[in-house]
Structure 1
Amino acid sequence: MKKFSFLFSLALIPLLNLYSQNIEIPLDTTVITQHSVSINGKSIDYTAETGFMPLWNDDREPIASLFFTYYKRNGIKNTENRPLVISFNGGPGSASVWMHIAYTGPRVLKIDDEGFPIQPYGIKDNPHSILDVADIVFVNPVNTGYSRAIPNAEGKVDREKFFGVQADIKYLAEWLNTFVTRKNRWLSPKYLIGESYGTTRVSGLALELQNSQWMYLNGVILVSPTELGIKRDGPVEISNRLPYFAAAAWYHDALPAEL
């Protein structure tokens, strides 16, 4: 038994050495697969593309590799009238995961209305996905999900490039320019959707994309907007609650006919 344990330990040494080495960050690679989903009772064929796309500095050196998942409905010949929705979650340290697998993606977790998993565990078609009317890309900001900053020759990361309200907005605008160009979606209607802190992110992105990238959006969607500790009294506070009142009234079929 002792001999077996010794030999087993020796066999583990190469594996330990492997995991002790630095893991190379994927820079520019994707995987493409074909799928079908039922949305509102209609079968939708679509292409799923997931992978990494780089971000460069002014010297054209890669400084980050951002992970994304891009869903595109098949059979659309003219994308000029096909909306592209660019989706973010919040945090700001959250990957774009819950908008992906709980709300707008073509496949979602099996969860109840309160967000708790239900048996049998797994995933299912999302009958309420927006993929029937719009293509969607879910973007993971740097150091969320699989996205990573790339150290320079000295092994250091320029943290000021990524970690800050304005820094976050600026580099994501640059990356989105590359994505939209590569996917040939400049003529498509473009929308941003953000959840929680993502509402702050997309609010800033809308202006940054316009000012620095000449990318004009068709709309911005705010999901669960956060006050971020900013409190206001009186009429301003009441007016800020109007979207919540409208959503609750819609859910309970209490909206007037004209709305």
Structure 2
Amino acid sequence: MISNTINRSGILILTLLFTMSIGLGAAPKTNNISPKVDESTTQEFTTKIKGKKIKYTATIGNQPVWDKEGQPTATLFYTYYQRSDVKSNETRPLVISFNGGPGSASVWMHMAYTGPKILNVDDEGYPLQPYGTKTNPYSILDVADIVFVNPVNTGYSRVLPDKDGKMPSRDKQKSQFFGVNADIKYLADWISTFVTRNNRWRSPKYLIGESYGTTRVAGLSHELQNNQWMYLNGVILVSPTDMGIKRDGPVKSANRLPYFAAAAWYHNKLNAELQNKDLINVLNEAEKFTINEYIPALAQGGFIAQQHKESIARKVSYYSGLPVKTVLQNNLDISTSFFWKDLLRDESKTLGRLDSRYLGIDEQDAGSRPDYYAELTSWLHSFTPAINYYLREELGYKTDLKYNMFGSVHPWDRSNNNTGKSLRLAMAQNPYLNVMVQAGYYDGATNYFDAKYSMWQIDQSGKMKDRLSFKGYRSGHMMYLRKEDLKQSNQDIRDFIKASLPNAATPAKY
């Protein structure tokens, strides 16, 4: 069954004006490459999740962002999966999913994590040809409906011309969309409209964000409560950024070491005594050293006693796989870019940034950083053809508009980022709200120990630590690409959702 809707008077006129506009960001004068401003198409599908047959609908479309005068300022492209073999959605959870960047489309988690279809990749996440999709047997669609949202200029989402048919200036676009707080504000409005249109106000609601998307959903948790009066049951932070929680100086430098230990262990570069231990045991040791010895040593800077400096260097070498001499030459402070370049320098290989299992080759073995990031080029191999194929040929979204894997959103206004503390306040105000952090041990961009540290700092009082949890995986930034972790991480979300659904007779109070 296919249904189509076009809403709000004047939308078709605005679409025509968009195709005729000139100047910054104007669309070419071809109807098929102007955005679809406000319409949707729904189809029915069947899949198998955890061996059980599941019926669902996939709604794909665009929904506008409105200004105070009721004029559409942008249109956001989304894909909404809803299980159709259930009687009512009033108790059925709704998961609202964002990726990060900022400037990244929702393609990553959509096509590799929680959705009903995933990439054609091998069990470790490396691309295979022919490019395309396959059934995701671990999707959370059995327990929750999911909407994947593309912020402005990502996917097929675009800025729209004003009522006079003119595109707003870049400064105006930045103030409307391209900054920590502007992003949160317009997306909260959009979510409220989506929930209203789809009759989901009674449903338990969850936000999931990956990478910069964690900054986004942390801020949205408070914005939705305080300006949309929408209360959540859960927030899932996948490979989180700092969310405005400071970790500068010695903390920033030292927190890298447990990740270094993970990557070195994976590539068999640790001392034999350490290498023969299980990864988790290695990380537990590295974390204790980092907190109890490494941070205090770095805090002493150039005034650290030489004997103590050399002792710390030996331990950093022990956990990082780098030579003691190299650690000393870097004054105990190893940058991630240097680590990616140096760990396998003798083998003429570099490590991936977002997933250090991936290897690259540089023009020269000398230098202090890799020429490129091997994991990202690998991922783009499979994600780009898969999403373009899937949306057009399986879901029937016909357009010549370019699908932006990474859109034009910079410069991004990062000022006044208090999203971590906003999340804490949202939790304090809402006794139902729970938070789960998911991170891959081999992620060198948003490393897992930084994720733990940020989780510890969200609520320094410790009064809500029973509502904060951490899950780690033996893969990288997109830990779900590895089959074993795809299965486990989806199950962790499934368990998190079930655990955070209160009984009908449980009031929201302390």
Q: Pick the TM interval, shorter chain.
A: 0.7 to 0.9
Structure having the larger proportion of residues in strand: 1
Asked whether the equivalents of residues 99 and 213 of structure 2 are also in contact (C-alpha less than 8 Å), the reply is: yes
CA deviation map 1:116-151 (0-9, x unaligned):
212443211001100000000000000101001112
2:98 maps to which of 88, 103, 111: 88
Asked whether the equivalents of residues 152 and 158 of structure 2 are also in contact (C-alpha less than 8 Å), the reply is: yes
1:248 Cα offset (Å): 4.2
1:78 Cα offset (Å): 1.6
AA aligned to 1:181 is T
The reply on whether 1:176 has 2:176 as its aligned counterpart is: no
Match of 1:247 in 2: 472
User: What CA distance in whole angstroms lies between the structure 2 residues aligned with 1:245 and 1:212?
Assistant: 29
Identity of aligned residues (%): 59
1:217 maps to which of 198, 213, 232: 232
- Unpaired runs of 5+ residues, structure 1, are 1-18, 254-259
Match of 1:146 in 2: 156
Asked whether the equivalents of residues 214 and 243 of structure 2 are also in contact (C-alpha less than 8 Å), the reply is: no
* Count of aligned residue pairs for this structure pair: 234
Structure having the larger proportion of residues in helix: 2
Match of 1:66 in 2: 76
CA deviation map 1:32-80 (0-9, x unaligned):
1111111101111100000101111111111111100000001222211
**Pairwise CA RMSD:** 2.7
Q: Secondary structure at the match of 1:136?
A: strand
1:184 Cα offset (Å): 0.2
1:156 maps to which of 144, 164, 167: 167
The range that moved more, 44-53 or 234-243, is: 234-243
1:227 Cα offset (Å): 3.2
Q: Secondary structure at the match of 1:53?
A: strand
The reply on whether 1:188 has 2:203 as its aligned counterpart is: yes
Match of 1:10 in 2: none
Asked whether the equivalents of residues 35 and 156 of structure 2 are also in contact (C-alpha less than 8 Å), the reply is: no
1:113 Cα offset (Å): 4.4
Match of 2:46 in 1: 36
**Following superposition, which runs of at least 4 residues in structure 1 exceed 6 angstroms of deviation?**
235-238, 241-245
User: What CA distance in whole angstroms lies between the structure 1 residues aligned with 2:91 and 2:230?
Assistant: 16
Q: Secondary structure at the match of 1:155?
A: coil
AA aligned to 1:58 is K
What TM-score results when the alignment is normalised by the length of structure 1?
0.82
1:115 Cα offset (Å): 2.9
- Unpaired runs of 5+ residues, structure 2, are 1-26, 252-290, 296-448, 456-467, 475-483, 489-510
User: What CA distance in whole angstroms lies between the structure 2 residues aligned with 1:52 and 1:245?
Assistant: 34
Q: Secondary structure at the match of 2:125?
A: coil
Match of 1:12 in 2: none
Q: Secondary structure at the match of 1:81?
A: coil
User: What CA distance in whole angstroms lies between the structure 2 residues aligned with 1:245 and 1:34?
Assistant: 36
1:231 maps to which of 232, 235, 247: 247
User: What CA distance in whole angstroms lies between the structure 2 residues aligned with 1:241 and 1:199?
Assistant: 11
The range that moved more, 221-230 or 241-250, is: 241-250
AA aligned to 2:166 is G
1:114 Cα offset (Å): 4.1
AA aligned to 1:128 is Y
